[in-house]
Amino acid sequence: MATAIQNVEEQPRKVVVASGNKLAAFVPATLDEAWRLAGALAHSGMTPKAYGADQNKIMVGIMAGAEVGLTPFAALQSIAVIGNNPSLWGDGALALIQASGLLEDMEEMDDGNVATCRLNRVGRATPIVRSFSMEDAKKAGLAGKSGPWSQYPARMRQMRARAFALRDGFSDVLKGLHIAEEARDYQPMGSVPVTTAQPLTSAALLGQSEPVDTTPLDPNAGEKRGDEDMGEAGE
């Protein structure tokens, strides 16, 4: 491995130049190149706040972007790290789907209470239609929540409806990545109260058991019941 890295350093990768003498996007061809690029970006101080100067996080962002076809810089701008999981911002997810050539038509509507997103996918007769209302936001504990849900509720409804439609209709393009606007509203697992399991003891079992009728059975009960049935039949 050390020899391979040394060879890479001795023979630096040439800058790819597109037609018209314009620089093309730099895309790492090896894991070593991606790691060194992450290090350079970490020292630049120009990465989004979610990544900061953490070379490891930047590396994950670049790799997550590569999974869906994003160049390194586009990946860091389009992918948010939420709860240590990479997610795509809604505009970035839409850009990927538009670039895939699979989106035939798109329509987003909002009547002031319900946002609806309709997507037509190439080769699919039925459109993908998803909605998100303020009633849904209330049920999810989002309505009136400090931040974007209080400042831009219409935009947040739009992003939720869009996220549902994009993920349901183009999961093959998004490769399982969630939409950031949706993911950041999820309740962190650490805030959910956890009930500690109690040891199973004989006292606990007795407390859960139902009382048992210990009255002795009448040995003639069956015969008496049979006589009564015969009498009813005779009547």
**Structural domain spans, the chain:** 24-88, 101-173
Confidence of residue 84 (pLDDT cuts 50, 70, 90): confident
Strand (E) or helix (H) holding 178: strand 178-179
Highest mean pLDDT among 146-155, 189-198, 204-213: 146-155
Residue 222 has pLDDT above 70, yes or no: no
Confidence of residue 101 (pLDDT cuts 50, 70, 90): very high
Q: Beta strand 178-179 with 85-88: parallel, antiparallel or unpaired?
A: parallel
Write down the pLDDT at residue 42. 92
Strand blocks (E) in 53-134:
79-82, 85-88, 103-110, 114-121, 128-133
Average pLDDT, stretch 96-100? 92
Confidence of residue 81 (pLDDT cuts 50, 70, 90): confident
- Please count the other Cβ atoms lying within 10 Å of the Cβ belonging to residue 215: 5
Matching residue, tokens 């895309």: 27
**Tokens read off for 81:** 């790290």
Residue type at position 127: P
Q: Show Cβ contacts of residue 166 under 8 Å, excluding neighbours closer than 6 positions.
A: 90, 93, 94, 97, 117, 119, 174, 179
Averaged confidence pLDDT in the chain: 78
Cα 140 from Cα 156, distance rounded (Å): 13
Share of residues in the chain with pLDDT > 90 (%): 40
**Tokens read off for 201:** 């003891």
**Tokens read off for 203:** 């006292």
Q: What is the pLDDT of residues 135-182, one digit of tens each?
A: 999 998 998 888 889 999 999 999 999 999 999 999 999 988 888 888
Write down the pLDDT at residue 193. 42
Residue 35 has pLDDT above 80, yes or no: yes
Cα 190 from Cα 33, distance rounded (Å): 36
**Mind giving me the DSSP string for 218-230?**
-TTHHHHHHHHHH
110 SS3 class: strand
- Please count the other Cβ atoms lying within 10 Å of the Cβ belonging to residue 195: 5
Write down the pLDDT at residue 182. 85
Write down the pLDDT at residue 234. 52
Q: Which residue has the higher pLDDT, 64 or 193?
A: 64
Residue 63 has pLDDT above 60, yes or no: yes
**Mind giving me the DSSP string for 38-50?**
HHHHHHHT-S-TT
